């Protein structure tokens, strides 16, 4: 599902007027019809509605929607700014229609009280708002939030910026948001997303040809996931790749085991785990995982890089997962840096494998790597603070991936997948049950398995986010949110595949 910025929406609407002749009043009518259609589909039909209208075109959408509610028999009160001469042309027309038809129009006056309405519609501000609410509109929004009734936002909840994931102050807390043409960033990522409720995207007849060209930002949806490669009747294990998982250290070999098992469960034909010889007992649980213990110590050292590289280059390894549980010692970092220079295979780099890298190392893996940091790891790698990253995750990820020629999988409550070509996918399939050790190892392993079986990097990352989240939800249904283990999730990857 496409995501557009406020400037892109303005660009499209300007082109619609200039190039196709669609007047603003038609777009407003279409928007109002879309909102009314969703209201008419509500399980409980509202009897009494309050429509809160601002002074811009979002308020005009509210006026037009109020007209439709009144015509359908809903007792409707329209609250609006006292200065009715300041509305833009299309909004002014819709206000005049309401006034001439005897609608219940009330200028905003203190004390603001919206109790007694079973539907409150927020049409105060649209995508153009760039600052926190203050003064009268802050008080109106807070009063609306305190009132009962179902709360519906027109386009975006007032108080949010379309292009930011932040919550700068008072925000209308919607149960549903009906947005137009495309989703906005604030509707896809927390904390802003929490104020949007259920988001429904409606087409208001803006032609696709008017949309800006170039790299897209999209919101991943189940019905548009990458297609899974089907196994043919005369196939064999070699058709689905040989993945190597290099990871583990003293006390953390289980991470390499989890990634290896997830890779097998996700479709890799063969998986070999390469790990420091301490902790190999994990792999006895899954004899399908081939093993190559190296070193007799607790972690990889620089001198182990040549033997690991020799194994990779001599055994036709398709893809390499590097870093799960590998540890953060200086010796291990030297191992990682040397290994990536000795091989030219596709890489998935996770956890302390990422912490071993600097920007110079990223040039070594340009064009062949998927890097999967959480916010803290990405902060160290990019030099940005976590707060800076949170404020603009999609653009930050886009710029970083493009600059370094990598696929970036930036993990959080929503995962941002940024491609080297500048495109961005936001995947939101997770559950709080995944807030537990081993989840990142599972994701890295699933990406590895999908890539080994022949799927591209970006497609593998998107599908892996879905499979991890869906498997975790299935495990949560069985075990409860607090008791889901990474192994529970891995064991249900097959069920998640079957649900597609």
Query: Any idea of the CA torsion for 352, 358, 361, 365, to the nearest 10 degrees?
Result: 60
pLDDT given for residue 281 in this prediction: 75
Q: Which residue has the tokens 């200086």?
A: 330
Nearest Cα residue to 325 out of 220, 428, 221, 445? 445
Per-residue exposure over 65-101, b if at least 16 CB sit within 10 Å of its own CB, e if not: bbbbbbeeebebbbbbbeeeeebeebbebbbeebeee
Q: Is the pLDDT of residue 155 over 70?
A: yes
- Least confident span in 204-213, 256-265, 267-276: 204-213
Percent of the chain with pLDDT over 90: 92
Per-residue exposure over 220-247, b if at least 16 CB sit within 10 Å of its own CB, e if not: beeeebbeeeeeeeeeeeeebbbbbbbb
Average pLDDT for 452-469: 97
| Contact criterion met (CB below 8 Å) for 427 and 419 | no
Largest CA distance in the chain: 87
pLDDT-based confidence at residue 138 (cuts at 50, 70, 90): very high
Q: Is the pLDDT of residue 267 over 90?
A: yes
pLDDT given for residue 306 in this prediction: 95
Which residues make Cβ contacts (< 8 Å) with residue 394, sequence separation at least 6?
3, 185, 189, 217, 416, 418, 424, 426
User: Does residue 347 sit in helix, strand or coil?
Assistant: strand
pLDDT given for residue 410 in this prediction: 98
Q: Is the pLDDT of residue 113 over 80?
A: yes
Please give the order of strands across the beta sheet that includes 424-427. Answer: 2-3, 217-219, 424-427, 415-418, 407-410, 369-372, 347-350, 319-322, 242-246, 270-276, 290-294
pLDDT in tens, 364-411: 999 999 999 999 999 999 999 999 998 889 999 999 999 999 999 999
pLDDT in tens, 3-59: 999 999 999 999 999 999 999 999 999 999 999 999 999 999 999 999 999 999 999
Provide the strand spans (E) within 65-174.
75-80, 104-107, 119-123, 150-154
Q: Is the pLDDT of residue 184 over 90?
A: yes
Q: Is the pLDDT of residue 279 over 70?
A: no
Q: How far apart are CA 407 and CA 369, in angstroms?
A: 6
Q: How far apart are CA 116 and CA 32, in angstroms?
A: 23
pLDDT in tens, 305-360: 999 999 999 999 999 999 999 999 999 999 999 999 999 999 999 999 999 999 89
Q: Which residues pair with 338 in a beta bridge?
A: none
pLDDT given for residue 333 in this prediction: 96
Tell me, yes or no, if the pTM score tops 0.85. yes
Q: Do strands 104-107 and 407-410 pair parallel, antiparallel, or not at all (unpaired)?
A: unpaired
The two structure tokens encoding residue 143: 């009063």
The two structure tokens encoding residue 80: 């609006």
Percent of the chain with pLDDT over 70: 100
Q: Which residue has the tokens 């893996």?
A: 365
The two structure tokens encoding residue 35: 């909102």
Comparison of pLDDT for 281 and 18, the residue scoring more: 18
The burial of 278, by beta-carbon neighbours within 10 Å (0-12 exposed, 13-18 middle, 19 or more buried), is given as middle
pLDDT given for residue 115 in this prediction: 95
* Domains annotated on the chain, with CATH: 2-213 (3.40.50.10260), 224-498 (3.40.1190.20)
Mean pLDDT, the chain, integer: 95
Comparison of pLDDT for 213 and 96, the residue scoring more: 96
pLDDT given for residue 392 in this prediction: 86
Q: How far apart are the first and last CA of the chain?
A: 18
| Contact criterion met (CB below 8 Å) for 241 and 460 | no
pLDDT-based confidence at residue 97 (cuts at 50, 70, 90): very high
Q: Is the pLDDT of residue 278 over 80?
A: no
User: Does residue 57 sit in helix, strand or coil?
Assistant: helix
Q: Is the pLDDT of residue 236 over 90?
A: yes
């Amino acid at each position: 599902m496409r995501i557009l910025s406020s400037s892109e929406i303005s660009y499209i609407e300007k082109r619609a007027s200039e190039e196709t002749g669609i007047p603003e009043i038609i777009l407003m009518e279409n928007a109002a019809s879309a909102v009314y259609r969703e209201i008419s589909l509500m399980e409980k039909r509202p009897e009494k509605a309050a429509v809160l209208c601002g002074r811009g075109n979002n308020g005009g959408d509210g006026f037009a929607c109020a007209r439709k509610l009144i015509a359908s028999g809903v007792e409707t009160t329209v609250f609006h700014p006292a200065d009715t001469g300041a509305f833009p042309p299309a909004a002014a027309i819709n206000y005049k229609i309401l006034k001439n038809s005897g609608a219940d129009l009330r200028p905003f006056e203190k004390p603001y009280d919206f109790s007694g309405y079973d539907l409150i519609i927020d049409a105060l501000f649209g995508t153009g708002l760039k600052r926190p609410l203050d003064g009268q509109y802050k008080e109106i929004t807070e009063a609306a939030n305190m009132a009962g009734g179902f709360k519906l936002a027109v386009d975006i909840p007032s108080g949010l910026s379309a292009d930011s994931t932040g919550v700068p102050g008072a925000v209308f807390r919607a149960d549903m948001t009906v947005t137009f043409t495309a989703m906005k960033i604030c509707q896809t990522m927390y904390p802003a997303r929490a104020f949007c409720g259920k988001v429904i995207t409606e087409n208001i007849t803006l032609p696709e040809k008017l949309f800006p060209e170039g790299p897209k930002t999209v919101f991943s949806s189940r019905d548009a996931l990458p297609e899974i490669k089907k196994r043919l009747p005369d196939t064999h294990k070699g058709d689905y790749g040989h993945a190597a998982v290099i990871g583990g250290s003293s006390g953390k070999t289980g991470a390499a085991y989890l990634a290896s098992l997830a890779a097998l469960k996700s479709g890799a034909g063969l998986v070999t785990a390469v790990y420091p010889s301490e902790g190999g007992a994990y792999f006895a649980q899954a004899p399908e995982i081939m093993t190559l213990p190296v070193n007799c110590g607790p972690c990889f050292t620089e001198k182990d890089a040549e033997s690991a590289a020799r194994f990779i280059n001599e055994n036709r390894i398709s893809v390499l997962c590097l870093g799960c549980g590998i540890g953060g010692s200086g010796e291990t970092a030297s191992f990682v840096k040397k290994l990536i220079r000795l091989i030219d295979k596709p890489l998935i780099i996770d956890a302390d494998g990422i912490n071993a890298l600097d920007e110079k190392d990223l040039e070594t893996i340009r064009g062949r790597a998927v890097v999967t940091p959480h916010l803290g790891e990405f902060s160290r790698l990019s030099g940005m603070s976590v707060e800076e990253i949170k404020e603009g995750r999609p653009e930050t990820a886009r710029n970083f991936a493009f600059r370094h020629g990598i696929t970036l999988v930036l993990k959080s409550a929503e995962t941002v997948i940024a491609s080297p070509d500048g495109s961005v996918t936001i995947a939101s399939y997770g559950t709080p049950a995944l807030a537990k050790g081993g989840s990142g190892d599972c994701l890295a392993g699933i990406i590895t398995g999908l890539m080994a079986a022949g799927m591209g990097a970006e497609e593998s990352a998107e599908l892996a986010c879905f499979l991890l989240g869906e498997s975790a939800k299935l495990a949560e249904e069985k075990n409860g949110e607090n008791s889901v283990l990474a192994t529970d999730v891995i064991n249900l990857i097959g069920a998640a595949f079957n649900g597609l």
